[in-house]
Structure 1
Amino acid sequence: MKIPSIKGFDQAALEKYVKNTGWLMLARVGSMAIKVVVGIAVTNYLGKDQNGILNYPVAFVTFFTAAAALGVDGFITRELLRNPEKKNELLGTGFAIKFMGGLIVLPLIYTTYVIANSYNRIDTPLVFIMTVGFTGLIQSFNIIDSFFQSRTQGKYIMRVQIAGNVLSAAIKLALIIIGAGLKWFIFALLLDAALLAAGYLFIYQNNGESVFRWTFKSDIAKFLLKNSWPLAFSAILVSIYMNIDKLMIEYYKGTGELGIYANAVQFAEAWYFIPVAVAASVFPAIMNARRDNLQRYEKRMQNLYDLMVWISMVLAIFITFTAPYLFRIFKPEFYSGAHVLSIHIWAGIFVFLGTASAQFLIAEGYTKLSMLRTAMGALINIILNVFWIPKYGIAGAAMATLVAYACSTFWILLIPKTRHQGIMMLKSLLLITLYQKLKGSKDQPG
């Protein structure tokens, strides 16, 4: 298949990365389409108040499940690449660490809920929170994901995820058909994690491996815990960054407004798989260019920033104008969330750029800067939500997210050694590089 040429891009490289990413993107688009369709059905069935209660446990528990993972997944993948013969020790130790983390956070979830409920009554029952809290234990089996990543066998991961999404969608539609109550949709959230874990187990065993050969090694555990804590802390910060607005909306405005907001945000964030897939595809080429040719390295980073801006900007413009019509047709009860989607979708531009610049930070070994950038974004988000949610409601939360994402992404402008990359991102965002590419193509003799 011939990929259409884009001015300013190396055609051979473009074809390579598009083909490498194509099946992954197709699978993710299919999964997203399933989630959107089922999401529309579930939210319309439950209504805004119950939808708010359904979303609250996920937002509440996500901080704890991020902590429970202890950031070991990334290090397991790296160590499997370096020492594939130690796969059973690495996977067994990683699984044990994550499982113990999942156990430890359960009483923390309970205690935090009790304290928070004593200050401000939470509409979501404790049993719902604790039910979702058990996902931290079940997700221990997701360590198998690292095994397939280390072998560049992403097709297996995608098969598991797609199958899980299809089964999850079927279960939720069945619950709607039989007229099930809210508690069954809460249990379905736990079942989603169980289906994914079962899929990983099945495909791992089906590839001639066995979890019964996994072993725990204390020296590996010490190594993982010593080196993975920055990633664990970053995961917690990301969870705060992306979910604190939902908790604060419930606190200030109640579950009804949370249901409307969560519904809009779910659609806005559904597109965030795109930058992750693109960045993962081009990362090896970026690392090779950094090793062999710094000029090519910089050009590839600039092209990546350009691509991220073009995709996200087209999405933002399209959704901004169509959001009112989409809500009026598919979700009339949630129509007041259309303006939230129109605001929140623009945060995607900075998410796309932030994902791209993260490749530079990883390539240069600036992992602590990446963690600080996330921390600053989370802090700004919290501060703005405190002032803007009481004043502007759920629109204020969307604006806070937009500003926080923008500040976090361009924070690297304040650091001398990363400032040049920030300027490159600004050139893409302001469409300066697009103008240069178009001008360059016109100046070339035809």
Structure 2
Amino acid sequence: MKIPKIQGFDQDALEKYVKNTGWLMIARVGSLGIKILVGFALANYLGASQLGILTYPTSFVTFFVAAAALGVDGFVTRELLRFPEKKNELMGTAFVLKVTGGLTIIPLIYFAYLVYSSVKPLETPFSYILILSFTGILQAFNIIDSYFQSRTQGKYIMTVQIAGNLISAATKLLLIILGAGLTWFVFALLFDVLLLAAGYLYIYQRNGGSILNWKFEGTIAKFLLRNSWPLAFSAVLVSIYMSIDKLMVEYYLGKAELGIYGTVVSLAESWYFIPVAIVTSVFPAIMNARRDDLVRYQRRMQNMYDLMVWISLSLAIFMTFAASLIYRIFLPKFLSGAPVLSIHIWAGIFVFLGSASGQFLIAEGYIKLSMMRTAMGAVVNIVLNIFWIPKYGIAGAAYATLIAYFVSTFWILLIPQTRQQGIMMLRSLFLITLFQKISARNSLQE
């Protein structure tokens, strides 16, 4: 298939990276369809209160799991691009660091649960949280994902994710048919992570790699920790401002409202795979352009911002009008979530733009700036949730998320080094570049 030529991109590079994006998109679209259908069935089976209890452990451990990853995944991808001959040393060292981080967070999770439950008794038993805390260890195998990303081999990622999601969906549907209790579905969530880890390991071995060749090197460990800690801290902050609203909904409103809000977040965030897939695939092309041609580099960034806005705006408009119909047909027990989804879905525009601008910050070495803007979003989200959830309910949480994502994304306008990128995003957001391209095309046709 011939890929249409887009101004600002080399055709050969475009063919390579768009095809890789296509593989990633197929994987994520398959995952999206499966997760949504199973999510509908699971929500209706459990009901709002039990769904809230099931949602809570995942939200609780998210912050710790993000910390356990140590921020090395993205950094290892960059280093594998630069030094592919150091594959075994980089991956082996990163794997050991991530496993160590996963083991470390388990007692920390227990301590956090004791402290939090002393303030407000939790309806979610610690056993559920403990089960999911082991995802911090299993996520160490995600380093294999970094290897395939560095080689732009999206088809292998597709294979793992599609197979894993099919098995996961079948497992949850079987549990529903058998009338299983809530504890089984908690184990099913851990099983999802185990499937992904096993899949990555299998496909890596299948393509000539072997974890037996991985090596831990102290010098590389120090290098990774020294350079990736801002990314680790940023990942924790991201998890805070993307998940803290769920914990606060449960704190202020209870498990039933958390169950309803959980369906909203699930539907709204189901689309967030799109910017990740696109950015992951074209990041090598952007890095190459930065090295070889700064003008082309800026054009590629502007094109990416344009693409992010076009996709996210289309999704936001569609979901705003479709929300009520979706809930009436598939989630009749959760109808109060429909108007909240119409609010939350618009936060996706800033998530899409934030994912793209995040690559600029990495390419330019502005890791600490990336961390600072994430921190701003987290603070705004927490403060607004404190005031708005008690007053407006789960709609307040959705509005807080929307504003927090906006602040986080466009905070770079306040920094001189990054202001130009913020202006470029605004040009895309207000469709200025779209109209310019349409005008230029019409002029050429005349």
TM exceeding 0.5: yes
Secondary structure of 2:124's partner? coil
User: Deviation of residue 9 (structure 1)?
Assistant: 7.0
The match for 1:420 is: 420
The match for 1:400 is: 400
Structure 2 gap segments, 5+ residues each: none
The match for 1:253 is: 253
User: Deviation of residue 428 (structure 1)?
Assistant: 1.3
Secondary structure of 2:257's partner? helix
The match for 1:298 is: 298
The match for 1:375 is: 375
RMSD: 2.0
Secondary structure of 2:208's partner? coil
Deviations 1:17-70 (A, max 9, x none): 543322221221011111111111111111111111111000000101111111
Mapping of residues 47-126 of structure 1, within 5 Å: 47-126=47-126
- d(CA) in 2 for partners of 1:303 and 1:85? 32
- d(CA) in 2 for partners of 1:153 and 1:331? 37
The match for 1:163 is: 163
Secondary structure of 2:192's partner? helix
- d(CA) in 2 for partners of 1:116 and 1:218? 37
Distance 1:306 1:85, change over 3 A: closer
**What amino acid does structure 1 have at the position aligned with 2:269?**
E
The match for 1:143 is: 143
- d(CA) in 2 for partners of 1:432 and 1:425? 10
**What amino acid does structure 1 have at the position aligned with 2:116?**
A
**What amino acid does structure 2 have at the position aligned with 1:262?**
G
Q: Structure 2 length normalisation: TM-score?
A: 0.94
Deviations 1:400-438 (A, max 9, x none): 000011111111111122212211211211122222222
**What amino acid does structure 1 have at the position aligned with 2:25?**
M
User: Deviation of residue 3 (structure 1)?
Assistant: 4.9
CA contact (8 A) 2:17 2:152 kept: no
**What amino acid does structure 2 have at the position aligned with 1:440?**
A
User: Deviation of residue 4 (structure 1)?
Assistant: 6.0
Distance 1:20 1:198, change over 3 A: closer
Deviations 1:367-386 (A, max 9, x none): 21111111111110111001
Query: Is residue 2:216 matched to residue 1:216?
Result: yes
How many residue pairs get aligned? The number is 445
**What amino acid does structure 2 have at the position aligned with 1:118?**
S
The match for 1:45 is: 45
- d(CA) in 1 for partners of 2:104 and 2:151? 31
Structure 1 gap segments, 5+ residues each: none
Distance 1:218 1:292, change over 3 A: closer
- d(CA) in 2 for partners of 1:87 and 1:301? 29
The match for 1:173 is: 173
Secondary structure of 1:444's partner? helix
Q: 4+ residue runs of structure 1 moved beyond 6 angstroms? A: 8-11
- d(CA) in 2 for partners of 1:144 and 1:18? 21
Distance 1:194 1:353, change over 3 A: same
Deviations 1:251-275 (A, max 9, x none): 0001110110111111111111111
Q: Structure 1 length normalisation: TM-score?
A: 0.94
Distance 1:66 1:45, change over 3 A: same
Distance 1:139 1:330, change over 3 A: same
The match for 2:236 is: 236
The match for 2:354 is: 354
